[in-house]
């Protein structure tokens, strides 16, 4: 299945089977394809034409996302497909791997966390190559002095990309734990935490649907200019705990 703009350029195609094991199940074959379009794609919203389409081995759609690279400027032309074999075995065992509205993987689940990690690793490699490609394009079109300034700028972007590629530290409860109800129907968990410069952390947004109804949009901000919220807007569409990712910027 190929989607996106006309005449895309294939940048990565991972057709080898990733032998992802989970508990007592047999290995799950995962096929990953990532493409690069000739123009920028829409990477958010209901009308997005970019992102990685997630499907099972019967071509049922499980979701679409670039995950932590959804807002990455160097990933605006990326789209692709991930086929997860034997995914329905998990559903048959009532594993909480898919949101109730079937609009995406449940990120805190160990299996989904592993799958998302493997996808993000490959998207991260494509982002690095895109950075080098754009840098070379600029060098060809600019004089040496200006090219040096652009090179320094891309070095900074590459450093940021290295930080973004880090695995986020989960500060929320484990998926197997009994979640406590949020006081007053709405809260972040944990309410406070010590964080380190240049690290990524996941908090949990907890809410009661009787107070914050499905379809609502929650915006997350931080008054500390040294902390960047990577998930600034969340649409409430599922009865699962929603992770909010943030990163503390280097001084």
Q: Are residues 117 and 179 in the same domain?
A: no
Q: Are residues 120 and 176 in the same domain?
A: no
Identify the pLDDT of residue 82.
93
Q: Are residues 24 and 88 in the same domain?
A: yes
Is the CB of residue 237 less than 8 Å from the CB of residue 215?
Answer: yes
Q: Which domain holds residue 188?
A: 169-248
Q: Are residues 34 and 110 in the same domain?
A: yes
Identify the pLDDT of residue 55.
94
Contacts of 251 (CB under 8 A, 6+ apart): 197, 226
Identify the pLDDT of residue 69.
92
In a domain, 222, yes or no: yes
Q: Are residues 177 and 241 in the same domain?
A: yes
Domain count, the chain: 2
Q: Are residues 118 and 227 in the same domain?
A: no
Which residues of the chain, if any, have pLDDT below 50?
Answer: 1-7, 14-16, 239-242, 250-251
Angle 34-236-226 (CA atoms, 0-180°, nearest 5)?
A: 75
Angstrom distance (rounded) from CA 135 to CA 20: 35
Identify the pLDDT of residue 183.
77
Pairing, β 78-84 against β 169-170: unpaired
Tens-digit pLDDT profile for residues 200-226: 788 887 788 778 877 788 888 888 887
Identify the pLDDT of residue 5.
39
Q: Are residues 26 and 106 in the same domain?
A: yes
Domain final residue pick, 126, 151, 177: 126
The model's pTM: 0.58
Q: What H or E segment, with its residue span, contains residue 189?
A: strand 186-189
In a domain, 160, yes or no: no
Q: Is 245 exposed, middle or buried (0-12, 13-18, 19+ CB in 10 A)?
A: buried
**Residue where the block lists tokens 């294939």:** 10
Q: Are residues 29 and 122 in the same domain?
A: yes
Contacts 24+ apart (CB under 8 A), 211-220: 211/184, 211/185, 211/186, 212/185, 212/186, 212/236, 220/244
Q: Are residues 97 and 195 in the same domain?
A: no
Q: What is the CA radius of gyration of the chain?
A: 19
Q: Are residues 177 and 112 in the same domain?
A: no
In a domain, 174, yes or no: yes
Angstrom distance (rounded) from CA 43 to CA 140: 29
Whichever domain contains 113, its CATH number is 3.30.230
Domain final residue pick, 91, 106, 126: 126
């Amino acid at each position: 299945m190929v989607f996106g703009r006309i005449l895309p350029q294939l940048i990565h195609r991972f057709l080898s089977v990733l032998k992802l094991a989970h508990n007592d199940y047999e290995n799950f074959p995962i096929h990953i394809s990532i493409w690069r379009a000739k123009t920028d794609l829409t990477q958010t919203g209901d009308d997005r034409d970019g992102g990685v389409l997630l499907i099972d081995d019967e071509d049922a759609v499980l979701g679409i996302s670039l995950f932590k690279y959804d807002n990455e400027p160097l990933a605006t032309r990326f789209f692709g497909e991930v086929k997860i074999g034997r995914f329905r075995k998990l559903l048959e065992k009532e594993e909480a791997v898919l949101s109730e509205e079937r609009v995406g993987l449940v990120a805190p689940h160990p299996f989904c966390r592993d799958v998302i990690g493997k996808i993000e690793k490959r998207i991260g490699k494509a982002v690095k190559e895109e950075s080098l490609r754009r840098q070379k394009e600029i060098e060809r079109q600019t004089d040496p002095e200006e090219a040096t300034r652009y090179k320094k700028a891309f070095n900074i972007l590459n450093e940021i990309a290295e930080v973004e590629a880090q695995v986020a530290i989960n500060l929320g409860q484990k998926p197997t734990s009994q979640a406590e109800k949020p006081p007053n129907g709405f809260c972040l968990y944990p309410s406070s935490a010590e964080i380190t410069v240049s690290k990524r952390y996941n908090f949990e947004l907890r809410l009661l649907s009787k107070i914050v109804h499905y379809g609502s949009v929650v915006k997350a901000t931080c008054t500390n200019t040294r902390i960047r919220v990577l998930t600034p807007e969340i649409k409430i569409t599922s009865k699962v705990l929603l992770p909010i990712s943030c990163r503390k910027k280097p001084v």
